[in-house]
Structure 1
Amino acid sequence: MTKTPTPQGFREQDAYRALVAACEHAGLDSRGAALIRLGENALYRLASAPVVVRIARSADLLPDVRKEVGVARWLEEADFPSVRLFPDCPQATVHDGRVVTFWRYEVSEGPAPGFTDAAVMLRKLHDVVKPTDLLLPLFDPLARVEDRLDSATTVAEEDIAFLRQRVKDLYAEYSRLDFALPAGHIHGDGHKNNLLRRPDGEVILLDFEAFAWGPREWDVCTGFGLPFRGFGWMLPEEYAQAVEAYGFDITEWPGFHTIRRIREVTMTTWLMQNVDHSPEARAEFERRVASLRHDELPRVWQPF
């Protein structure tokens, strides 16, 4: 199959062109669509139907998006509390060099899900049985980071060099880890912002982009270990509740700080993609890189 060329950059107008083409192909009306978020992906809510259109920034991500679709179908068949694909739409199709999927729009209401909700959801997710015919990629803790560094044309060269060396060092550390939990399917980005509370109070799981087969410690660190020990976003009693809900205290595991520092690099390079979109994003990226040079906790980072 001929590889679709990857367009350079990912701005709102780039995502919008893919939105219009994908909706026309699916028989949906894109007029009045509202941009929800522009980050790793672009998310649009249609005005004409209860649909969220998700646009991946590159056609190179087609295998990952096909995996997301497979995961979504598995979780729906298992009656797992998660976002659903919008029915009767072509999924993981390429338009204007971007990969597009269609999802049911979910209304969020009530208190936002918290860290204990994340721990409960991760426990449920890790306990559900994965079908044998659903193949997941082996987890790469620094996936996409090198591509992000290669594409960062407006970031200081010394920062790029520092991050490249950091990636090399962390890969070496990661390869030596002795994991305490059995490997299995993981969400890969299982923090509380990837949860949504429906009007009936049920919390559901979102965003299957990073699903993989790997160490459960990664999910636990992302969900509540890093927010507690790395950023100080949780009170000790909140962390104790999350540990009880999941059943594992990752901060007592010797490999925790390696996972924590890897996660910090992925968070920093994710933000790096958006430094040209706003002065605030650039300032926060520079703050994060400066703090990575000194391993002082908790990190004083602003969420984006």
Structure 2
Amino acid sequence: MTTTPTPQGFGEQDAHRALVAACEHAGLDSRGAVPMRLGENALYRLASAPVVVRIARSVNLLSDVRKEVAVARWLEAAAFPSVRLFSDCPQATIHDGRVVTFWRHLDSGGPAPSFADLAVMLRRLHDVPKPVDLVLPLFDPLARVEDRLDCASTVADEDLEFLRQRVKDLYAEYNSLDFPLPAGHIHGDGHKNNLLRRSDGQVILLDFEAFAWGPREWDLCTGWGIPFRGFRWVSREEYARAVDAYGFDVTEWPGFHTIRRIRETTMTSWLMQNVDHSPEIRAEFDRRVASLRHDVLPRVWRPF
């Protein structure tokens, strides 16, 4: 195990080295592990055990990963329907400059979770009492964006300057917002892809990396408000069902469009980290930056 600084790159070979080292340390067999996703984190499903190995791209994310582990343990103790840690392994260990956690693999089945399922899940999550000894960070709506910009060595200077100014402007807008809902713990990245329907039909909540103390409006905006107003990924009927399930129409709130532009900026900077992985990703990044310069809706973005 090493605590040396993380290299800037995070490709398949980088993730696989951390996977092999972490599994060896935990007494697991990494041979035949199947890559599931490479994005902000790398996910592998082990062939030797019902385990998903999650590898954070940088040792600088250690505090976030430790928070994620603490949140997972809280939700398990509260019997909340969420993904569980694989209890027989050490958690948040550092290997090859990456932070590694181990999770129980869940088989999925049945129809994909809906936006109404997400609204029900977030309503229930917001109502779960938070333990007094669980300290959550204050929510930062543009967390990691500036670090991503600083590490972007193959992005045009004019794009980086545009995004840096946009971050400054959006922070100023965000800090002037009035939030009608009471603040509390939020998922922070509550979108439909962070739900899984198990083979028994139960819907499970995933990914606690962005958990924080902040405005509940953020979860509603990212969950179904922005997919509806910003991208037209949600029909009016689906949106109405989500609003009814949660009990608040966030797109009628004057601050919605500030949150929408913040979320679009974080989505763009997230993709920017992978522009060297393929021409398709670079083309999509260029498309997103161009559309941010011209605030015309709906956005026509390709998901990655």
Q: TM-score, normalised by structure 1?
A: 0.98
Q: Secondary structure at the match of 1:243?
A: helix
Q: CA RMSD in A?
A: 1.0
Q: Secondary structure at the match of 1:61?
A: helix
Count of residues paired in the alignment: 303
Extract unaligned runs of 5+ from structure 2: none
Kindly report which structure 2 residues correspond to 1:241-280, keeping only aligned pairs within 5 A, or say none. 241-280=241-280
1:141 is matched with 141
1:117 is matched with 117
AA partner of residue 264 (structure 2): E
2:200 is matched with 200
2:228 is matched with 228
Q: Secondary structure at the match of 2:101?
A: strand
Write out per-residue CA displacement over residues 241-283 of structure 1, whole angstroms, 9 at most, x where no aligned residue: 1000001100110100000000000000001111111111111
1:178 is matched with 178
AA partner of residue 107 (structure 2): V
1:298 is matched with 298
1:151 is matched with 151
Q: Is the 8 A contact 2:4 2:96 kept in 1?
A: no
AA partner of residue 103 (structure 1): W
Kindly report which structure 2 residues correspond to 1:63-78, keeping only aligned pairs within 5 A, or say none. 63-78=63-78
AA partner of residue 184 (structure 2): G
1:61 is matched with 61
1:22 is matched with 22
Q: Which runs of 4+ in 1 moved over 4 A?
A: none
Distance 1:270 1:147 in 2: 11
| 1:108 shift after superposition | 1.2
| 1:6 shift after superposition | 2.2
1:79 is matched with 79
AA partner of residue 16 (structure 1): H
Q: Structure 1 residues 244 and 178 mapped into 2: Cα distance closer, same or farther (>3 Å)?
A: same
| 1:236 shift after superposition | 1.1
Distance 2:302 2:113 in 1: 19
Distance 1:16 1:220 in 2: 35
Distance 1:161 1:222 in 2: 25
| 1:4 shift after superposition | 3.6
| 1:54 shift after superposition | 0.2
Write out per-residue CA displacement over residues 88-134 of structure 1, whole angstroms, 9 at most, x where no aligned residue: 11000001100000000011111111211111111011011110000
| 1:3 shift after superposition | 6.4
Extract unaligned runs of 5+ from structure 1: none
Distance 1:43 1:256 in 2: 32
| 1:84 shift after superposition | 0.2
Q: Is the 8 A contact 2:115 2:192 kept in 1?
A: yes
2:34 is matched with 34
Distance 2:52 2:233 in 1: 30
Distance 2:3 2:97 in 1: 10
Distance 2:90 2:228 in 1: 41
